[in-house]
Each structure stands twice: as C-alpha cells, then as structure tokens.
Amino acid sequence: MAPTQQWIQRVNQILDEWDSSIVGKVGEEDDVSDRERLRIRLGTLLKRCGRSNRSDEFDAAIADGLDKRSLFIYPRLEGRLHSDSWLAVSRDPVPDPVLLFAKEQHLQDFLAVELPRLPLFRGLELVKPQYPLPDGSRIDLLLFDKRANEYVVVELKHHEAGYGATTQLISYMAQLTKQRADKEGRGVRGMLLVGSVAIEQRNQFALLAEANRIQLIRYEIEFETEVIAPETATEAPAARGGSQVNFD
C-alpha cells in the first residue's frame, strides 16, 4: 500500500471511531440532544494518522470524512494552528471551544482553594496538596472522606492523559496504604481528573479504574462575561458573570 493510501486509511479509521462514539442526533428543530464532544490535540491527531504536519491534502481528507459522517470540528483545520491546539468534534455545527487550564499547577491551585464549593468533592476534606510518598513522588491532592473513612488520592492531568496515568495513580495508592492508611485502619480510593482521554484508550482506562477503585473524571472550563460599563453599550446582550469548571 502506498504511503498516501496508508495515512488516508488511518484517517478513515479514526473518523469511524469518532462516528461510533459521539452521541447526539439533530432533531426536527435542529436541537442537539444527548450531545457528547470528543476532544483531541492537533498533534495527537497528526501522530495517529502517521503525519508529521498538516497539508492541504490532509485537511481536505479530514473535512470530507467529517462531512460524510455528519460530524463537525472546531476550530476548523484551516490557517495556522499549533500542534498543541485543542480540537472539539461533535454533531453540533458550532461546538463550543475547548477550555482547559494551561498548566497542571493552575488546576491544582484552583481545586485546593475551591474544593468546598465543588459538588464533585462534597463531603471530602483536603489533607494536603503535593503529599510526599516514600519513593520521593508526590500525590497532587490528598483528600479524606470522613463518612467512608477513606483517603482519596487525586492525580491531575490538565490536558490529555495517557494510560500510564492510571498505573501511576495505582502506585501512589499502594504507597499511601502501606505508609499511612493501614496503620490508621482506613481505606484508600483514587480519582484521576483529566482534560481528555485518548478515545482508543478509554476501555483500558475504564477496566483498570474499575478494578482498582479509581474514578476517571474529565473536566472543562466555561468562560462567561458581563458588561460592567458603559451601561449604554450598544445592544449589549445580557450575560451572566463568573466562571465555572464542569466535571463529567
């Protein structure tokens, strides 16, 4: 098979994966129900297709394949995009942009401060961020669940997480169990909080997580604005203030 045919075949395999995994159908009034977005970095997409960079031929193959499967991508593959640019794929003609923390430390700092206000962490107390373990590694956030009498080991990946993130978390849980939990008569469970998981690794993640009492959670940021001044801004639409981090 010629090199061109190989990467085009790989593009179609990836698009078929997206087509089968993204839920949501356009209704009679063009409403999208049960919508799900897939998120992927441009560099990851290129690597999976066996490409080192974009080309007009590559962009056209993606656009044509998406159109045939009634899928949409944002931002569109045109103009200058960095390999770290995040792409959102859905059945919505205008999917929302993907907003994630720029650095893992930013995500950790946010959670350490806002933990009591986030429904996902209701009933959990912060023991210590960057909790040290015997092998010199550190737990991003160590939490405690009083009701269950368990420690919750939280591993953070502000962008895409690979399969190794789960095995890393399992190691942290095992060390904490031996170092502290067993001596105190307490249990240990894990939480892996990520910006995205590669679609081809989701089943592996799910199986390993379930077998080791680990919750796999994806987050994203919503950006909202409010016009403060001038009050007479021309036809300025009303907008809610504040920001929000969603978990699913």
pLDDT in tens, 137-172: 999 999 999 999 999 999 999 887 877 888 899 999
Question: Is 86 in the same domain as 39?
Answer: yes
Distance separating alpha carbons of residues 34 and 246, to the nearest angstrom: 16
Give the global pTM: 0.64
| Domain assignment present for 23 | yes
Structure confidence by residue, pLDDT tens digits, 125-138: 999 999 999 999 99
| CB contact set of 76 (below 8 Å; sequence gap of 6+) | 63
Structure confidence by residue, pLDDT tens digits, 189-200: 999 998 877 666
- Average pLDDT (101-125) is 92
Domain that holds residue 181: 104-223
| Domain assignment present for 142 | yes
| Domain assignment present for 198 | yes
Contact 123/146 with Cβ under 8 angstroms? yes
121: its two tokens: 């962490």
Distance separating alpha carbons of residues 15 and 64, to the nearest angstrom: 10
Number of domains in the chain: 2
| CATH classification of the domain holding 148 | 3.40.1350.10
Helix axes 3-21 and 56-68, enclosed angle (nearest 10): 40
Question: Is 84 in the same domain as 108?
Answer: no
Distance separating alpha carbons of residues 126 and 116, to the nearest angstrom: 9
Question: Is 86 in the same domain as 111?
Answer: no
